[in-house]
Amino acid sequence: MRIVIAGGTGFLGAPLAESYGEEGHDVRVLTRAVPDGESRHEPGTGVPGVTRVGWRPDGNAGRWAADVDGADAVINLAGESIGDGRWTPQRKAALVDSRIVPTRSLVAAIRSSAAPPGVFVSGSAVGYYGPSADELKTESDPPGKDFLATICEDWEAEARRAEGAATRVVCIRTGVALERSGGALRKMLLPFRMFAGGPMGSGRQYMSWIHRIDWIEMVRWIVETPQVTGAVNATAPEPVTNREFARALGRALHRPAFMPAPGFALRLALGEMAGPLILEGQRVVPAKALSLGFHFRYPEIDQAMRGIFET
């Protein structure tokens, strides 16, 4: 298969591209690190392997659109990290643009293709549901009203414009993806290793998480399963409270987990984003994936922690 991945150099995209490349698929990673329109084969990834293709998304299809034409799947993971920097008005605008504009460019490329891809998998997040206390959320629930929910709703609406007779669209609402090499978990490790770890804020807020291996396998399952359309929650079947998560991490590291980080201190340090990213939460379950037969390797948090830290 030919797989085109935008955002294929990040914490989720890079191992996804590698997994396809190792199996002999033709992987085209759209990146700003290569001059616009140029292609560079990644050494050591075999043939056809992974090829980096330069793009400068501006809302339109560029020269890179030739790689989309005839592709089997396009996977859109483009977007700046939500947690890197305080949410100033300028930062908020950048977070929106980094998602909407590349998605608009990919949609334009798909709609102008002579041979459109069979599936367009586009990123989203569990922030779609807004803060929801302990209320269980599935794909059928409506969006929230806060900043993150609005971003996700608009992001998904842009992606759905690619839907057509030849292309199904799946918006993957990702929870907190766990792996010690990066992402949120790496940022959490230091206080635990210094025997100062614990819950954040009240600890009662729910955390919808997924092991990175399960996330990669879910994306691949979506690509290969024609019945999957619309929104899909990429979360483990057992969301946990922040306190339960801290205890599981402490057990995996053989460290205590009783030093809470006060909510007021987090708000002072991080500003507005402390609420939706840390102190509030969503209790999201992958109802669609489970109903269509997806199998999780790591459905429970202690299993996931053992898989991460005992390998």
Averaged pLDDT of the chain: 92
CATH of the domain at 9: 3.40.50.720
Q: Is residue 199 part of a domain?
A: no
Name the 3-class secondary structure at 9. coil
How much is the pLDDT for 201?
82
Q: How crowded is residue 302: how many other Cβ atoms within 10 Å of its Cβ?
A: 15
pLDDT at 268 over 60: no
Q: Is residue 162 part of a domain?
A: yes
Mean pLDDT on 159-184? 94
**∠ Cα 158 224 140 (to 5°):** 50
Q: Is residue 166 part of a domain?
A: yes
Indicate the pLDDT class of residue 266, thresholds 50, 70 and 90. low
Mean pLDDT on 265-283? 70
Length of the chain: 311
Distance of CA 106 to the CA centre of its chain: 17
Q: Taking the alpha carbons of 145, 146, 152, 155 in that order, is the dihedral positive or negative?
A: positive
Bigger pLDDT: 261 or 128? 128
For residue 129, what are the domain limits?
A: 2-177+211-235+285-293
Indicate the pLDDT class of residue 263, thresholds 50, 70 and 90. low
List residues bridging with 232 in a β-sheet.
Answer: 172
Q: Is residue 150 part of a domain?
A: yes
Q: What share of the chain has pLDDT > 70, as a percent?
A: 95
Indicate the pLDDT class of residue 174, thresholds 50, 70 and 90. very high
List residues bridging with 240 in a β-sheet.
Answer: 207
pLDDT at 264 over 70: no
Indicate the pLDDT class of residue 123, thresholds 50, 70 and 90. very high
pLDDT at 167 over 90: yes
Bigger pLDDT: 273 or 103? 103
- Which range has the top average pLDDT, 162-171, 186-195, 260-269? 162-171
Mean pLDDT on 90-107? 96
Separation in Å, CA 88 to CA 177, 270, 274, 290? 25, 11, 13, 38
Q: What share of the chain has pLDDT > 90, as a percent?
A: 75
Q: Is residue 247 part of a domain?
A: no
Cα gap 81→198, rounded to integer Å? 24
Determine which of 170-184, 228-242, 261-275 has the lowest per-residue pLDDT on average.
261-275
How much is the pLDDT for 270?
60
Question: Can you read off the two tokens belonging to residue 291?
Answer: 């109903």
Distance of CA 283 to the CA centre of its chain: 17
Question: Can you read off the two tokens belonging to residue 185?
Answer: 């978990």
How much is the pLDDT for 86?
81
Q: Is residue 258 part of a domain?
A: no
pTM above 0.75, yes or no: yes
Q: How many domains does the chain have?
A: 1
Mean pLDDT on 110-126? 97
How much is the pLDDT for 203?
86
Query: Is-contact 170 228, C-beta < 8 A?
Result: yes
**∠ Cα 156 162 163 (to 5°):** 95
Bigger pLDDT: 82 or 302? 302
Query: Is-contact 3 27, C-beta < 8 A?
Result: yes
Q: Is residue 13 part of a domain?
A: yes
Q: Is residue 301 part of a domain?
A: no
